Chain A
Amino acid sequence: MLIPKLPKATITNTMNATVRLVPVQAAYDDLLQRSLSKIPCDLARLIYLASTRDYNSGNYHHDGLAARFRPDVAGKALEIAHRQVFYQLSAYSLEDLVKQLRIYLDSSHESAADVLRIWQKLEPYRVAIPMEVNPAVARLFLSNVRLALAIWRFRQEQALKNP
């Protein structure tokens, strides 16, 4: 997996004082090394990072990271990582996104057919979009996931028809 370094512009835009840059970078690196690198694919990383965001406040929480750094620093690192993974995933070709979906479904503890049905019906991936991302990119992401799910379903049906 290619783990990107925290972009300088992002840090400068989101942080007020230079002195605060180092802890966020350190928390970001820590998050990549301890948590994200152990997750099998970018799609799973996105879902994981989105799950650390509070539905009501939009703030990110991670107990381990907050204990090693500060809650606000951990929150900022999670927010940046979330946005980073989202943009990476949105830049994938449809073919690569279908591959990501396969890895995600294979690594899930639920049955792939059930996950597929729920994803197509409830579209839970919609809440996986970070705040303040480019709207056209967000649309592309949602559309591509819908397409990837349809392609995956089509393949499953074909496999059942022609075992």
Chain B
Amino acid sequence: MIGIPTALLLGTILLLLLLFVAARGSVGAREPTSRSDVPLLDDEAALDPCPPEFVARIFSPDDWEFVSATGSPQLEKLFRRERKVVALAWVHQTSLAVRRIMREHTQAARHSRDLQFVTESKLVLLYAELMLLCGMLFLAIQSAEPQRVRGLAIYAGALSQRLAQAQHDLQTMTAGREFHSAS
């Protein structure tokens, strides 16, 4: 049985470690993007979370089964390399999109007069969870095949959509309130 101070210390170390992993993941995931396949499409400002059906496709085990059925080691190797690059690019894009959403939200919150503590806390927690997930996914994809982390990726994809939706709803609500108070 450990005491509360030890548990707190361990918790803090674990949190710092995970934050480090998240930051490393985000920076590391930049690498495949810098060897850009589609440089003209890498406009950070325009990034939105990837639609869920494509997240499921990137991490789908079906394609791997199809390729391994050919019995060609070269094709299997090519598939693993290709899919890893796509999956890492997706992690990078998700992390950029999440940061952009939070940046926009922070800017909007600075001018808002009726911030709600509970809502803001939920958003911050969602943001932290997503960044951690991106870090974990980055490490997992590097060490295993993308199809093995399908569930985690789909969960992260759904969370990023939820964050984008929450930010959009808040923006709409704030605009509505400002319109009413001005009229």
Contact = CB atoms under 8 A, between A and B. Distances in A.
Interface string A129-149: 101111111111011001100
A154 B62 contact: no
Interface stretch (B7-15, B17-25, B64-72, B134-142): B64-72
Given A129-B41, A137-B51, A142-B37, A151 B86 contact: no
A157 to B, nearest CB: 10
Contacts of A90: 54, 57
Given A132-B46, A154-B75, A139 B37 contact: yes
B interface bracket (residues with beta carbon within 8 Å of A): 20 to 34
Interface stretch (A7-15, A29-37, A91-99, A100-108): A91-99
Interface in B30-89: 37-38, 40-42, 46-48, 50-51, 53-54, 57-58, 60, 62-63, 66-67, 70, 72, 74-75, 78-79, 82-83, 85-86, 89
B127 interface: no
Contacts of B42: 135
Contacts, number: 82
Given A94-B67, A139-B86, A134 B60 contact: no
A135 B47 contact: yes
Interface residues of A, number: 25
B93 A147 contact: no
Interface in A45-70: none
A150 interface: yes
Contacts of B67: 94, 147, 151
Main secondary structure of the interface of A (DSSP, over half): helix
Given A91-B53, A137-B54, 4 more contacts: A93-B63, A138-B41, A140-B86, A147-B82
Interface of B: 37-38, 40-42, 46-48, 50-51, 53-54, 57-58, 60, 62-63, 66-67, 70, 72, 74-75, 78-79, 82-83, 85-86, 89-90, 93
